[in-house]
């Protein structure tokens, strides 16, 4: 899975926090929802634009960020 295509960071969107591409849904929000006990199915029902692959990418991104110091890339809009 290529998280680089699904997770982006842009200073103009959510103050540069990593988000699911094409949304304002942050990786932080998804991790918080899962930690609070929400199921992937509940999250997908609440956010129809999300996919299971996007949620998995968010978790993978979060794990990578915790493994080492991470510089969030700035993706400029075309």
Distances in whole angstroms, Cα of residue 50 to Cα of each of 17, 40, 66, 78: 17, 10, 23, 22
| Strand ranges in the chain using DSSP code E only, listed in sequence order | 7-8, 19-20
Q: Is the pTM of this model over 0.85?
A: no
Contact, 26 vs 15, CB < 8 A? no
Query: Within a 10 A sphere around the Cβ of 62, how many other Cβ atoms?
Result: 18
List pLDDT tens digits, range 12-66. 999 999 999 999 999 999 999 999 999 999 999 999 999 999 999 999 999 888 8
- Any idea where the domains of the chain sit in the sequence? 3-67
- Look up the CATH number of domain 3-67: 1.10.10.10
């Amino acid at each position: 899975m290529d998280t680089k295509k699904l997770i982006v960071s842009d200073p103009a969107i959510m103050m540069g926090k990593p988000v699911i591409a094409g949304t304002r849904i942050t990786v932080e929000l998804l991790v918080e929802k899962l930690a609070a006990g929400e199921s992937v199915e509940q999250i997908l029902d609440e956010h129809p634009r999300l996919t299971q692959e996007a949620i998995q990418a968010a978790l993978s991104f979060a794990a990578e960020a915790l493994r080492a110091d991470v510089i969030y890339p700035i993706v400029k809009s075309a």
